[in-house]
Chain A
Amino acid sequence: MPVYLARRLIQSVLILLGVSLITFFLLYVLPADPVRQIAGRSATPQTVANIRAQLGLDQPFLVQYGRYLAGLVQGDMGRSYLQKTEVATLIWSRLPASLLLMAGGILCELVIGLTLGVIAALWRGRALDQGLMVGSFVAVSAPQFVVGLLLLYVFAVKLGWFPIGGYGTAAHLVLPAMTLGILGSGWYGRMMRSSMVEVLRADYIRTARAKGLTRGRVILRHALPNAILPIIAMIGIDIGVFMGGIVVVESVFGWPGIGQLAWQAIQRVDIPIIMGVTLVSATAIVIGNLIADLVAPFIDPRIRLR
Chain B
Amino acid sequence: MKHWLTSTALALCLATPALAQEYQPDPNAKAGGSITVTYKDDVATLDPAIGYDWQNWSMIKSLFDGLMDYVPGTTELRPGLAESYTLSEDGLTYSFTLRPGVTFHNGREMTAEDVKYSLDRVTNPATQSPGAGFFGSIAGYDAMATGGATELAGVKVTGPLTVDITLSRPDATFLHVMALNFASIVPKEAVEEAGADFGKLPVGTGAYKLGEWTIGQRLVFEKNADYWRDGVPYLDSVVFEVGQEPIVALLRLQQGEVDVPGDGIPPAKFQEVMADPEQSARVIEGGQLHTGYITLNVTQPPFDKLEVRKAVNMAINKERITQIINGRAKPATQPLPPSMPGYTEGYEGYAYDVEGAKALLAEAGVAEGFETELFVMNTDPNPRIAQAIQQDLAAIGIKASIQSLAQANVIEAGGAGTAPMIWSGGMAWIADFPDPSNFYGPILGCSGAEEGGWNWSKFCDAALDAKAVEADSIADPARVADRMKLWSDVYMGVMEQAPWVPVFNEQRYTMKSARMGGADALYVDPVSIPVNYDYVYVTE
Contact = CB atoms under 8 A, between A and B. Distances in A.
Interface string B102-134: 000000000000000000000001101111111
B130 A39 contact: yes
Interface string A252-287: 111111001100100111000000000000000000
Interface string B282-317: 000000000000000000000000000000000000
A161 B461 CA distance: 63
Interface in B41-84: 41-42, 44-45, 47, 50, 52
A261 B216 contact: yes
A50 B200 contact: no
Interface string B133-149: 11010000000011100
B173 to A, nearest CB: 13
A33 B412 contact: yes
A197 interface: no
Contact of A164 (B255, B411, B412, B442): B255
Given A36-B452, A90-B215, A50 B255 contact: no
A164 B251 contact: yes
B450 A54 contact: no
Interface in B431-451: 432, 442, 447, 450-451
A305 to B, nearest CB: 40
A130 interface: no
Nearest to A157: B251
B453 interface: yes
A204 B152 CA distance: 88
A166 B408 contact: no
B196 A79 contact: yes
Given A32-B409, A84-B199, A54 B248 contact: no
B257 interface: yes
A82 interface: yes
A54 B41 contact: no
Contacts of A97: 216
B525 interface: no
B216 A47 contact: no
A42 B41 CA distance: 22
B354 to A, nearest CB: 34
Contacts of A294: none
Contacts of B42: 83, 261, 264
Nearest to A256: B216
Contacts of B146: 46
B257 A164 contact: yes
B55 to A, nearest CB: 11
Given A31-B412, A90-B215, A165-B248, A43 B130 contact: yes
A43 B52 CA distance: 11
A260 B216 contact: yes
A40 B52 contact: yes
Contacts of A165: 244-245, 248, 252
Label chain B's interface by main secondary structure.
loop
Given A31-B412, A32-B412, A41-B442, A254 B130 contact: no
A166 B241 contact: yes
A54 B128 contact: yes
B134 A42 contact: yes
B80 to A, nearest CB: 21
Contacts of B453: 45
A152 interface: yes
A115 interface: no
Nearest to A153: B251
B197 interface: yes
B195 to A, nearest CB: 10
Nearest to A93: B215
B125 A47 contact: yes
Interface residues of B, number: 56
Contacts of B413: 31
Contacts of B214: 93, 256
A36 B414 CA distance: 12
A111 interface: no
A94 interface: yes
A250 B245 CA distance: 10
Interface in B386-436: 406-409, 411-413, 415, 429, 432
A252 B216 contact: no
Contacts of B196: 79, 84
B231 interface: no
Contacts of A229: none
A43 B132 contact: yes
Interface string A8-52: 000000000000000000000001110011111111111110110
Interface string B176-220: 000000000000000000001101100000000000001111000
Q: Which of A84, A152, A267 has the most CB of B within 10 A?
A: A84
A42 B130 contact: yes
Contacts of A42: 52, 130-131, 133-134, 432, 442
B334 to A, nearest CB: 20
Contacts of A33: 408, 412, 415, 452
B408 A47 contact: no
Given A36-B411, A165-B248, A254-B244, A47 B50 contact: no
B243 interface: yes
A255 B196 CA distance: 27
B145 A46 contact: yes
Given A256-B217, A260-B243, A269-B408, A83 B248 contact: no
Nearest to B408: A32
A59 B470 CA distance: 41
A37 to B, nearest CB: 6
A256 B41 CA distance: 11
A47 B132 contact: yes
Contacts of A268: 408
20 contacts: A31-B409, A36-B408, A41-B454, A43-B132, A47-B128, A50-B147, A51-B128, A84-B47, A93-B214, A93-B216, A149-B247, A152-B251, A157-B251, A164-B257, A250-B243, A252-B245, A254-B245, A254-B248, A256-B242, A268-B408
Interface of A: 31-33, 36-48, 50-51, 54, 79, 82-85, 89-90, 93-94, 97, 149, 152, 156-157, 164-167, 250-257, 260-261, 264, 267-269
Given A42-B134, A83-B45, A256-B217, 19 more contacts: A32-B408, A32-B412, A33-B408, A36-B452, A44-B145, A45-B451, A45-B453, A46-B146, A47-B130, A54-B128, A84-B50, A84-B196, A89-B215, A93-B216, A165-B244, A250-B243, A252-B245, A256-B214, A261-B42
